[in-house]
Structure 1
Amino acid sequence: MSRNTPNQPAADTDEIDHPWVSRLYGAMTPMEWLFAPHREYLAADLSGRVLDVGAGTGGMFEPVLEATGGEGIEYHAVEPDETMRKQAIETARQVGLSVDIRDARAEALPYPDASFDVVLSSAVFCTIADPETALEEVARVLRPGGEFRFLEHVRADGWRERGQDLCNPLWNHLAGGCNVTRETVDLFVAHEAFEVLELERVRLGVFPASPFYRGRLRRRR
Structure 2
Amino acid sequence: MKHRNPLFPYVYRLGMPVFDRLFYRRYRREAMSHATGRLLMVGVGPGTDLLFVPDAVTSVAAVEPDAAMRRMAGALARRHGVDVDVVNGVGESIPFPDNSFDSVHVGLVLCSVDDVAATLNEIRRVLAPGGRLVVLEHVRGDGLMGRFQDLIAGPWSWLASGCEPNRRIVDAIAAAGFDVEGLRSIRRTLVPPPCTPHLLGAATIRR
What amino acid does structure 2 have at the position aligned with 1:37? R
Report the CA distance between 1:108 and its aligned residue.
0.2
Report the CA distance between 1:182 and its aligned residue.
0.7
Q: 1:89 to 1:190 in 2, by over 3 A?
A: same
Q: Which position in structure 2 is the counterpart of 1:32? A: 20
**Equivalents in 1 of 2:148, 2:125: separation in Å?**
36
Of 27, 33, 44, the residue aligned with 1:44 is: 33
What amino acid does structure 1 have at the position aligned with 2:184? E
Output aligned runs, 1:89-128, within 5 Å. Answer: 89-128=74-113
Q: 1:30 to 1:104 in 2, by over 3 A?
A: same
Tell me if the contact between 1:49 and 1:116 (Cα under 8 Å) persists in the aligned partners: yes
Q: Which position in structure 2 is the counterpart of 1:8? A: none
Tell me if the contact between 2:43 and 2:65 (Cα under 8 Å) persists in the aligned partners: yes
Q: How many residues align?
A: 203
1:107 alignment partner, SS class: coil
Tell me if the contact between 1:180 and 1:208 (Cα under 8 Å) persists in the aligned partners: yes
Question: CA-to-partner distance for each residue in 1:93-149, whole Å, 9 max, x for gaps?
Answer: 111100000000000001111110000000100000011100000000001110101
Residue 53 of structure 1 pairs with residue 55 of structure 2:
no
Tell me if the contact between 1:16 and 1:81 (Cα under 8 Å) persists in the aligned partners: no
Q: TM-score scaled to structure 2, two decimals?
A: 0.91
Q: Which position in structure 2 is the counterpart of 1:6? A: none
What amino acid does structure 1 have at the position aligned with 2:10? R
Residue 180 of structure 1 pairs with residue 165 of structure 2:
yes
1:86 alignment partner, SS class: helix
**Equivalents in 2 of 1:215, 1:80: separation in Å?**
24
Which sits farther off after the overlay, 39-48 or 130-139?
39-48
Output aligned runs, 1:151-190, within 5 Å. Answer: 151-190=136-175
1:138 alignment partner, SS class: helix
Q: TM-score scaled to structure 1, two decimals?
A: 0.85
2:141 alignment partner, SS class: coil
Tell me if the contact between 2:60 and 2:85 (Cα under 8 Å) persists in the aligned partners: yes
Tell me if the contact between 1:78 and 1:105 (Cα under 8 Å) persists in the aligned partners: yes
Q: Which position in structure 1 is the counterpart of 2:184? A: 200
Q: Which position in structure 2 is the counterpart of 1:23? A: 10
Of 62, 71, 78, the residue aligned with 2:51 is: 62
Which sits farther off after the overlay, 31-40 or 136-145?
31-40
Runs of 5+ unmatched residues, structure 1: 1-13
Q: 1:170 to 1:93 in 2, by over 3 A?
A: same
Q: 1:16 to 1:61 in 2, by over 3 A?
A: farther
Q: Which position in structure 2 is the counterpart of 1:9? A: none
**What's the C-alpha RMSD, in Å, of the aligned pairs?**
1.9
Runs of 5+ unmatched residues, structure 2: none
Name the % identity: 35
Q: 1:154 to 1:213 in 2, by over 3 A?
A: same
Which sits farther off after the overlay, 32-41 or 137-146?
32-41
